[in-house]
A and B are shown apart, each in its own frame.
Chain A
């Protein structure tokens, strides 16, 4: 019996990406079943699928102790490739096919402003929380603020400023929390923040900034809006890495240094 199981596992491991196609297909199918049967279609199937993905990632993290979620389980390593940055960006760029240039030009000013507003607001909130939890030195405050921007800005800023590894880990965790909340929360708040047209999607992408969060959040809300949000969001991390260790650190140091 174990012989057969081992042979099966060997096939799955050897063909990781194909295994991921089968596995993700199954996950999506179950999610749409749950969406239709249990929620009467009120919660979108893709929202449930993303939530299920996160739950599975948690299970993967607990069972393996790794940092790649489900992809750390050997037979599901292909999920890491399918959901990795390369394929994800390839699919995101494909969504831009057929997008109207007019919409982007029209929202231009608002989109650029939303990028700056998003970065500053996230740093401010993160720094305030850091202060409230006793991290009162400007370096720690800026680093946690950077994490509240995205989980890439956090360690980049922390490294530049020489933050402690404890604060860096905290900033990465803050960024991960943000990305997950954006993924799961967006479909529920979309109606209240007017997220139903390309213009607001561009602004939303710039404000949130987490590419994975925006990618998931819009997919679960309205796939037609994905390219608009994703486009601005991809500028956010760069802007955060630029402003964090420079302008924002100087501002925070002026007040708390």
Chain B
């Protein structure tokens, strides 16, 4: 039944958020540490397990897939309830601090994406589109063979 899927999702979320709160208390910060991330890991493990056991019925899946597909509209609603006025009113110091952090973080994505990965020898020409394309193609190939080995 569809409700089983929704219910699995709910249990994953509640368990994850509880663990996140616990983790936050444990390290002494006033925040939920990775609750949603832990819930996602639970979701991945649980769905994998159920699928392997052949216990995941299509109707159960529908209960989860609905929420996954409603995700973008939810994000639009989230955007519509942001305090945009406060952000704009923060003035140049706030805008520069926020924008600076974004620009530098964006720039670090390619460098850190390579970590834990055999060097491709093209690390310096990272910005050139063609190199990157070659690299990702190679990665795809590697991943595919890895998976076959694992199976």
Contacts and interface: CB of A to CB of B under 8 A. Distances in A.
A126 B67 contact: no
Contact of B40 (A92, A180, A241): A92
A194 B123 CA distance: 13
B77 A68 contact: no
Contacts of A79: 77, 80-81
A101 to B, nearest CB: 6
A142 interface: no
Contacts of B32: 237-238
Interface residues of B, number: 90
A197 B139 contact: yes
A225 interface: no
A175 B86 CA distance: 10
Interface in A167-201: 169-183, 185, 189, 191-197, 199-200
A145 to B, nearest CB: 8
Given A28-B76, A88-B74, A91-B70, A126 B82 contact: no
Interface stretch (A6-14, A202-210, A247-255): A202-210
Contact of B87 (A31, A176, A241): A176
A67 B84 CA distance: 8
B116 A107 contact: yes
Contacts of B89: 173
Contact of A216 (B44, B78, B140): B78
A114 B93 CA distance: 25
Interface of B: 9-10, 12-13, 16-17, 20, 23-24, 27-37, 39-41, 43-45, 47-48, 61, 64-68, 70-102, 104-110, 112-117, 127, 129, 132, 136, 139-140, 143, 146-147, 150
16 contacts: A79-B81, A88-B74, A97-B64, A101-B45, A102-B143, A148-B101, A173-B98, A176-B98, A178-B102, A194-B113, A199-B117, A203-B109, A212-B78, A219-B72, A234-B35, A234-B40
